[in-house]
Amino acid sequence: MFSLINKTAVVTGGGSGIGRAIATAFAKQGAVVHIIELEETNAAETLQDIDAAGGKAFAYSCNVGDQQKVAETFNAIGNMHILVNCAGIAHVGKADTTSSEDFEKVFTVNVKGTYNCLHEAIPVFKKVGGGVILNVASIAALVGIPDRFAYSMSKGAVFAMTLSVAKDYLQDHIRCNSISPARIHTPFVDGFIAKNYPGKEAEMFEKLSKSQPIGRMGTVEEIATLALYLCSDEAGFVTGNDYPIDGGFIKLNN
- The model carries a pTM of 0.95
β-strands 174-181, 242-245 pairing: parallel
CA angle 68, 74, 79 (to 5 degrees): 155
Residue 181's DSSP bridge partners are 245
- What is the CATH T-level fold of the domain 8-182+219-241, as seen in this structure? Rossmann fold (3.40.50)
Q: What are the residue ranges of CATH 3.40.50.720 in the chain?
A: 8-182+219-241
**One-letter amino acid for residue 196 of the chain:** N
- CA-wise closest residue to 37 among 55, 63, 8, 69: 63
Annotated catalytic residue, options 115, 151, 229, 243: 151
Catalytic residue list contains 151:
yes
Mean pLDDT by 10 residues, the chain (254 residues): 97 96 98 96 96 96 98 98 96 96 98 98 98 98 94 98 98 98 91 88 93 95 98 98 97 83
Please say whether the beta carbons of 48 and 25 come within 8 A: no
Residue 146, SS3 per DSSP:
coil
